[in-house]
């Protein structure tokens, strides 16, 4: 009985390798990206690219394990979910009220240590933000929120 179950599990693992999730390989930079609406310093742009863009832009740098399912399927779902919450590549399309809210959420999530998520920073050590980097992002958000003209 155990042998049958093991064979079934192995067969399922082999078969799901043929499922290829759609890759998020568009351009992270476009006429709709966040740099066309907010001012961003090279330092902040670098921090956001390193810590946020894999899940929150139209371009993901996939690690080798993304080619192995079920991990690839999980990553694909996670990236889709991240882009639904915030997409830096489409930021300029947001209405001012939504932009303001998204900027507020960026500061909150980063300040409270919710973003980048621990499962991401576990494998991407350079994405883990220091206190100084968090302060840089939060200060940038505060400055940019002051510039948004709300209706």
**What pTM did the predictor assign?**
0.82
Range of the domain at 58: 2-147
* pLDDT tens per residue, range 96-110: 999 999 999 999 999
pLDDT at 28 over 70: no
* pLDDT tens per residue, range 55-72: 999 988 888 887 788 888
Tally of structural domains, the chain: 1
Instruction: Compute the distance between CA of residue 84 and CA of residue 77 in angstroms, rounded to an integer.
Output: 11
3-state secondary structure of 79: helix
């Amino acid at each position: 009985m155990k042998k049958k179950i093991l064979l079934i599990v192995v067969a399922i693992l082999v078969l799901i390798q043929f499922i290829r999730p759609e890759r998020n390989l568009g351009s992270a930079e476009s006429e709709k990206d966040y740099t066309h609406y907010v001012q961003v310093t090279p330092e902040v742009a670098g921090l956001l690219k390193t810590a946020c863009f894999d899940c929150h832009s139209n371009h993901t740098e996939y690690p080798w394990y993304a080619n192995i399912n079920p991990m690839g399927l999980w990553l694909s779902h996670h990236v889709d979910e991240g882009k639904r919450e915030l997409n830096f590549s489409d930021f300029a399309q947001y209405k001012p009220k939504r932009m303001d809210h998204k900027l507020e959420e960026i500061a909150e999530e980063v300040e409270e240590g919710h973003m980048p998520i621990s499962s991401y920073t576990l494998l991407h050590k350079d994405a883990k933000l220091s206190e100084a980097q968090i302060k840089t992002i939060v200060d940038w958000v505060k400055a940019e929120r002051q510039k948004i003209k709300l209706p």
